[in-house]
Amino acid sequence: MFAAAALIMVWCVIGHDLWVLGRSANTDLDQLGDWSVRADLRPRLLVLAFGLFLTFFVWRLVRLLQRAEHQAAARIALQRLIVDHASEAMMVTDRAQRILSINAAFTAITGYEPEDVLGKTPTRLSADHHGLSVHRNIWDFVAENACWEGEIWDRRKDGTIYPKQMRITAICEDGIQISHYVAVFSDISESKAQAQRLEYLAHHDPLTNLPNRLALDAHLQMVINSAVPGIDRMALLIIDLDNFKTVNDSLGHQSGDRLLGELARRMGGQIAGNQRLFRLGGDEFVIFIEQLPSEEAVIELSNRLIRVIGEPSEIDGHSLHMTPSIGISLYPEDGRDALALIRNADTAMYYAKASGRANYKFFAEPMNVAATKRLHLESELWRALADNQLVLHYQPQIDLLSGKVVGVEALVRWRHPTRGLIGPAEFIPVAEECGLILPLGHWVLLTACRQVKGWLDQGIDMGEMAVNISAHQFRQAEFAQSVRAILAETGLPASRLELEITESTIMHGVDEAIETMTELRGMGLRLAIDDFGTGYSSLAYLRRFPLDRLKIDRSFLADVDTDSDAASLLTSIVLLGRSLGLQLVAEGVENVAQAEFLRTLECERVQGFHFYQPVSAEEVVGYGGFGLFAALPA
Ligand code: C2E
Ligand code: MG
Ligand code: MG
């Protein structure tokens, strides 16, 4: 660089002198001999300065060029680095699709080294998964449209195939003709597997590994969409386990889960190729039968399900016996879409439950009419409570020896604005199902206590007030406290209150029941078992419970005057009850013969139409203190 600068300077000085000499020769040839002496120093210095400037200029130019060259090289190196370290594979081809360059990710994903692929066409390396024509079509598409993006299966060097997400772009260096293609792709096997896992989780129940409600909807939609109503027949079975909640409540959720897993496995063992088992949630399962040969096939399957579910299950040291209630809807008669089929099978399942459980029911249209009626009743009942349409009637209990009224039972009625007086048998079960029984039960208890306290305050002694308590009410954690609060609010002495509970109420969760009963009796009130004999408990079992009275169900009184077996059954119940130290009440005494028979058994208390019907509070006070067979109501 400096040599070039010196050379430029020397040439500048010599050039200048020659130019000066040239000019002098034209004017004065005498000066030729001593030009060096007479030549003026200033122009030389000027020339020297010009030379120096020129040198500097050239030097700067060269430096700039060098720097630009370095920067370009660094940029290329960086780009190479980026390409080589990119996680996406890259491949550049010429216009004839011969591979010119690949990056490290290409090798990592495909297993092909540069020497394997350079100069070859990508199509030749590709999988047979789609066939060569698909690959060719893609490249043809890019040639026409400049770009293609999508998912494609390809083959690695080791022969394995994998899915990849790829984008191919055509490059035109001159802006007119395609000169290169650039393909960028990534291996999506992992994300595809992940998506499949998520898809599986979204459509399956983790406890039983069975497809879930979402999967059922999708499956039904798919099958029904391609079905021909006149030709294809299908069936949908909803299988609900009876009393499964009791298992969860008494043995805990883990045992409940194990039982569900075991029963799901058994049900799965009963289905064939065109039948599928789903878990709707909780203890509800669905079996869907595509291409139903006949209704007999559904009946046969239902019977098998009832049998295998009914076999004992050994769970955590307990031998559990379950039963299912099965509702069946058929395509196309009971529904032409998933929603209708599920809804109608569900309605049929409720009928199966209502008609004794452990059985199956085919859907029938009247069931829907009844279901709608029930829904209507439910909404009306909520309003009834708010609008004070409920009233209490009272049925006296008589002491057989003295013939006096010794107590009354409060029985709720609904004074319906258009239908008149409705009995509890019609609406108490509805209230129990929809949760209304809790406010309703509270209202009954409060009203009954107020009533008997009001009588006492007026000097009217009607004996004890018996109030029916439903299972839901009794099992509330704060039930005993709410009774205590009502007694405190009304000021009624606890000894005047008797609570009637049924056997089934106390047979579920025996320890909790005993605890509540002990607390209630501790307050001083009485406890009676209602409808005794209709539940499953044995008299010996009842010994465990703190009880005062048994109310013998009226079914035991039915034929006592004509049937000796009935008479001896009633006799033994009375004797056993007495041996347990319990007081007895016979319900549903309808005639003199029954009353006489009870008198011979020395059953002290009776209640029944033979004596009094349930009547309003105003009416019942008129019966207080009447003699045994006197003044029977019409
Ligand atoms: P329950 O507690 O066994 O009440 C006795 C039922 O037998 C009453 O029917 C009564 O009218 C009827 N009965 C009484 N004597 C005779 C008779 O001689 N012959 C016949 N055939 N029946 C007689 P009701 O009032 O229709 O009540 C039916 C059931 O509804 C009650 O049976 C009770 O389980 C329930 N219930 C009534 N009121 C309430 C309530 O306030 N709360 C709850 N949870 N349940 C109630
Ligand atoms: Mg009762
Ligand atoms: Mg009863």
Alpha-carbon span 609 to 262, nearest angstrom: 51
Phi, psi dihedrals of residue 357, rounded to the nearest 5°: 60, 180
In a domain, 633, yes or no: no
CB 618 within 8 A of CB 399: no
Residue 432 and residue 520 in one domain? yes
Average pLDDT of 66-72? Answer: 88
In a domain, 338, yes or no: yes
In a domain, 557, yes or no: yes
Reported as a pLDDT band with limits 50, 70 and 90, residue 5 is low
Predicted pLDDT of residue 20: 60
Percent of the chain predicted with pLDDT > 90: 58
> What is the CA(453)–ligand 1 centre distance, in A?
22
Predicted pLDDT of residue 9: 63
CA distances for 360 relative to 17, 60, 266, 325, 363, angstroms: 126, 99, 18, 6, 10
Residue indicated by tokens 């006197």: 630
DSSP output for 218-256: HHHHHHHHT--TTT--EEEEEEEETTHHHHHHHH-HHHH
Predicted pLDDT of residue 631: 36
Q: In this structure, how many other beta carbons lie within 10 angstroms of the beta carbon of residue 265?
A: 13
Residue 31 and residue 171 in one domain? no
Question: Identity (one letter) of the amino acid at 234?
Answer: M
Q: Is 397 in the pocket of ligand 1 (CB under 6 A)?
A: no
Residue 48 and residue 177 in one domain? no
Asked if the model's pLDDT at residue 33 lies above 60, the reply is no
Asked if the model's pLDDT at residue 503 lies above 50, the reply is yes
For residue 444, the ligand 1 atom closest to its alpha carbon is: 41
In a domain, 368, yes or no: no
> Would residue 317 be called left, alpha or beta, if left means φ above 0 and alpha means ψ between -120 and 50 degrees?
left
Containing H/E element for 542? helix 539-542
Predicted pLDDT of residue 628: 35
- Which pair of tokens denotes residue 234? 């299908």
Residue ranges making up the domain that contains 157: 87-191
Predicted pLDDT of residue 627: 37
* Among 84, 99, 130, residue at a domain's last position: 84
Listed residue (614, 621, 617) closest to 411, CA to CA: 614
CA distances for 313 relative to 90, 209, 231, 281, 283, angstroms: 60, 20, 41, 20, 15
Helices (H), 86-212: 104-110, 114-117, 122-125, 132-145, 189-203
Q: Which ligand is nearest to the CA of 397?
A: 1
β-bridge pairing 89-94 and 99-102: antiparallel
> What is the CA(609)–ligand 2 centre distance, in A?
14
CB 527 within 8 A of CB 549: yes
Predicted pLDDT of residue 21: 56
In a domain, 43, yes or no: yes
Listed residue (310, 340, 346) closest to 328, CA to CA: 346
Residue 523 and residue 585 in one domain? yes
Reported as a pLDDT band with limits 50, 70 and 90, residue 437 is very high
In a domain, 492, yes or no: yes
Q: Is 93 in the pocket of ligand 1 (CB under 6 A)?
A: no
Domain count, the chain: 4
Q: Is 530 in the pocket of ligand 1 (CB under 6 A)?
A: yes
Residue 29 and residue 96 in one domain? no
- Which pair of tokens denotes residue 184? 């960028």
Residue 309 and residue 222 in one domain? yes
More confident residue, 559 or 444: 444
Residue 379 and residue 445 in one domain? yes
Average pLDDT of 241-246? Answer: 86
Cα of 274 vs its chain's centroid, Å: 26
- Return the residue whose CA atom lies nearest to atom 23 of ligand 1: 588
Residue 156 and residue 211 in one domain? no
Select, from the ranges 359-368, 383-392, 506-515, the one with the highest average predicted confidence (pLDDT): 383-392
Alpha-carbon span 183 to 88, nearest angstrom: 10
User: Can you give the pTM of this predicted structure?
Assistant: 0.56
More confident residue, 357 or 336: 336
In a domain, 132, yes or no: yes
Predicted pLDDT of residue 634: 31
Percent of the chain predicted with pLDDT > 70: 90
Predicted pLDDT of residue 325: 95
CB 481 within 8 A of CB 442: no
- Which pair of tokens denotes residue 281? 């949630």
Reported as a pLDDT band with limits 50, 70 and 90, residue 138 is confident
CATH of the domain at 606: 3.20.20.450
Q: Is 97 in the pocket of ligand 1 (CB under 6 A)?
A: no
β-bridge pairing 284-289 and 275-281: antiparallel
What lies within 8 Å, CB to CB, of 329 at 6+ separation is 235, 236, 335, 340, 341, 342, 344, 345, 348, 362, 363
For 492-521, what is the HEC assignment? CCHHHEEEEEEHHHHHCCHHHHHHHHHHHH
Instruction: Render pLDDT for 367-399 as a digit per residue (tens, 0 to 9).
Output: 888 877 887 888 899 999 999 999 999 999 999
Cα of 286 vs its chain's centroid, Å: 15
Q: Is 444 in the pocket of ligand 1 (CB under 6 A)?
A: yes
Average pLDDT of 48-60? Answer: 85
Instruction: Render pLDDT for 182-210 as a digit per residue (tens, 0 to 9).
Output: 999 999 999 999 999 998 999 999 999 99
In a domain, 135, yes or no: yes
- Mean pLDDT, the chain, rounded, equals 88
Average pLDDT of 410-419? Answer: 95
Predicted pLDDT of residue 277: 97
CB 472 within 8 A of CB 437: yes
Predicted pLDDT of residue 131: 65
Predicted pLDDT of residue 38: 53
Alpha-carbon span 487 to 524, nearest angstrom: 11
Residue 108 and residue 154 in one domain? yes
Average pLDDT of 486-497? Answer: 97
Instruction: Render pLDDT for 159-171 as a digit per residue (tens, 0 to 9).
Output: 888 999 999 999 9
Predicted pLDDT of residue 48: 78
Residue 460 and residue 438 in one domain? yes
Q: Is 614 in the pocket of ligand 1 (CB under 6 A)?
A: yes
Cα of 293 vs its chain's centroid, Å: 33
Q: Is 548 in the pocket of ligand 1 (CB under 6 A)?
A: no
N residues, the chain: 634
- Return the residue whose CA atom lies nearest to atom 38 of ligand 1: 411
Alpha-carbon span 585 to 454, nearest angstrom: 25
* Among 191, 213, 229, residue at a domain's last position: 191
By the CB criterion, residues less than 5 angstroms from ion ligand 2 are 468, 500, 530
Q: Is 395 in the pocket of ligand 1 (CB under 6 A)?
A: yes
Predicted pLDDT of residue 273: 85
Give the end-to-end CA distance of the chain in Å, rounded to a whole number: 138
More confident residue, 64 or 81: 64
Residue 248 and residue 317 in one domain? yes
Q: DSSP state, 554?
A: G
Q: Which ligand is nearest to the CA of 424?
A: 1
Predicted pLDDT of residue 629: 39
Substitution site in 438, 551, 587 for ligand 1 pocket (most atoms within 8 Å of beta carbon): 587
CB 123 within 8 A of CB 168: no
Predicted pLDDT of residue 366: 87
Measured torsion, CA atoms of residues 460, 466, 470, 473, in degrees rounded to the nearest 10? 60
* Among 84, 101, 131, residue at a domain's last position: 84
Asked if the model's pLDDT at residue 13 lies above 70, the reply is no
Instruction: Render pLDDT for 251-288 as a digit per residue (tens, 0 to 9).
Output: 888 999 999 999 999 999 999 888 999 999 899 999 99
Q: Is 423 in the pocket of ligand 1 (CB under 6 A)?
A: yes
More confident residue, 305 or 356: 305
Reported as a pLDDT band with limits 50, 70 and 90, residue 229 is confident
For 85-122, what is the HEC assignment? HCCCEEEEEECCCCEEEECHHHHHHHCCCHHHHCCCCH
Predicted pLDDT of residue 143: 85
CATH of the domain at 110: 3.30.450.20
- Return the residue whose CA atom lies nearest to atom 10 of ligand 1: 614
CATH of the domain at 281: 3.30.70.270
Residue 426 and residue 553 in one domain? yes
More confident residue, 47 or 464: 464
